Amino acid sequence: MTFLIQQTLLYAVPLMIVALAGVFAERSGIINLALEGIMIFGAFVGVLFVRIMQGSAWVSGAKAANAYGTLQLFELLAMLVAALFGAIFSLLLSFASINLRADQTIGGTALNLMAPALALFFIRLIANQNTLYIDGDGPSWFMIKKAMFGYGRTDKMSWLGETFVNKMYLATYVCILLFVVLSIILYKTRFGLRLRSCGENPQAADSLGINVYRMRYTGTTISGALAGMGGFVYALTTANCTSNGDVAGFGFLALAVMIFGNWKPGNIAGASLLFGLFKCIAAAYSSIDINGDGVYLLKEIGINENVYRMLPYVITLLVLAFTSKSSRAPKAEGIPYDKGQR
């Protein structure tokens, strides 16, 4: 059970935060199809940052002295860098779709093509192979271990500690916190209301003195920052802090989560937990012992792992099919705003 909860959380949290990234862009009126690309870019930059900083005295000294706090700070710093570069990368989309009124779908596709190409080009130059590794592996640097709290090797933490603290990452909880804070900002503040109005009726928003262009820039930039950070968190928590120009379709899955969650944070959190569970089952279904009685139930049912992997997409399509009449997509998303057309 502990394993199942931990793994589900690790898969679900990047999905959740990237789906929220999608919400910020779409609520402001820009379809961000580039989530996948921005994730790839963020993962690459974050891992590269970690790799470069490992050589510095500050970080290597902290590692040698087992200064866990400093290492966790280092992890947060890497997340910040990934977010920063994700935001910068997303400016390409904002510029094309806001200033030049380009087709947002094609612009997003271009970013999705560009990110893996750029990442792989530089990874090959830096590492002479297709995967960028850090010195050692992610868990040994960043994973929270019970030793940090003075527990010995044979000591056991309480069930809660074993499940939610031991062998988890700080990044996961930072993302959850960010998710909550940003959701509140989007729904309970004046800024959030203004942002959402630009995705529903930009003409009306403009007539009330809201700068639609600036709001849309803000929306996509927040979106880019979150997606970049989500990409790094994905690489850190599920890929041992490596980058290979690929996030296994997580960006597109996040898009599915966003639609499944009907563009609302609460539903998105639920949907990402559900999809995270599917991912986790697909990855480890043959070794999951749900209630600890030695019976591998999922293996005995005998459903192919690919079915579990396929399910999130199938469910999303079905949900779309059944709710298409009542779906609450932002009304003005995908339509370039032209001041002259009021």
Judged by CB under 8 A, the stretch of 11-19, 133-141, 187-195, 304-312 that binds another protein is: 304-312
Q: Which is nearer to another protein, 36 or 75 (CB)?
A: 36
**Does 114 help bind another protein (rule: CB under 8 A)?**
yes
269 and 177 in contact (C-beta within 8 Å)?
A: no
Q: Which is nearer to another protein, 35 or 170 (CB)?
A: 35
Distance from C-alpha of 242 to C-alpha of 77, rounded to nearest angstrom: 17
Judged by CB under 8 A, the stretch of 39-47, 172-180, 222-230, 319-327 that binds another protein is: 319-327
Number of residues that bind another protein (CB under 8 A): 55
Q: How far is the CB of 69 from another protein (least distance, A)?
A: 35
Give the SS3 label for residue 81: helix
Distance from C-alpha of 209 to C-alpha of 316, rounded to nearest angstrom: 38
Measured CA to CA in angstroms, residue 194 lies from 99, 163, 181, 187, 216 at distances of 20, 40, 17, 10, 10
DSSP annotation string for 108-127? HHHHHHHHHHHHHHHHHHHH
Q: How far is the CB of 328 from another protein (least distance, A)?
A: 9
Q: What are phi and psi of 211, to 5 degrees?
A: -80, 100
254 and 276 in contact (C-beta within 8 Å)?
A: no
State in Å, rounded, how far the first CA of the chain is from the last one: 56
Q: What x/- string results for residues 74 through 113 when contact with another protein is judged by CB under 8 A?
A: ------------------x---xx--xxxxxxxx-xxxxx
Among positions 61, 147, 304, 342, the unique one binding another protein when judged by CB under 8 A: 304
**35-74 binders of another protein (CB under 8 A):** none
Q: How far is the CB of 110 from another protein (least distance, A)?
A: 4
Distance from C-alpha of 116 to C-alpha of 225, rounded to nearest angstrom: 17
Q: List CB contacts of 263: < 8 A, sequence separation 6 or more.
A: 23, 26, 27, 328, 329, 330
Q: Which is nearer to another protein, 185 or 283 (CB)?
A: 283
Q: How far is the CB of 123 from another protein (least distance, A)?
A: 9
Judged by CB under 8 A, the stretch of 133-141, 213-221, 231-239, 311-319 that binds another protein is: 311-319
**Does 153 help bind another protein (rule: CB under 8 A)?**
no
Amino acid at 57: A
33 and 104 in contact (C-beta within 8 Å)?
A: yes
∠ CA 87-231-111, rounded to 5°? 55
**252-291 binders of another protein (CB under 8 A):** 252-253, 255-256, 259
Q: Which residues of this protein are in contact with another protein, per CB under 8 A?
A: 33, 92, 96-97, 100-107, 109-114, 116-118, 120-121, 124-125, 246, 248-249, 252-253, 255-256, 259, 304, 306-307, 309-310, 313-314, 316-317, 320-321, 323-327, 329, 331, 333-336
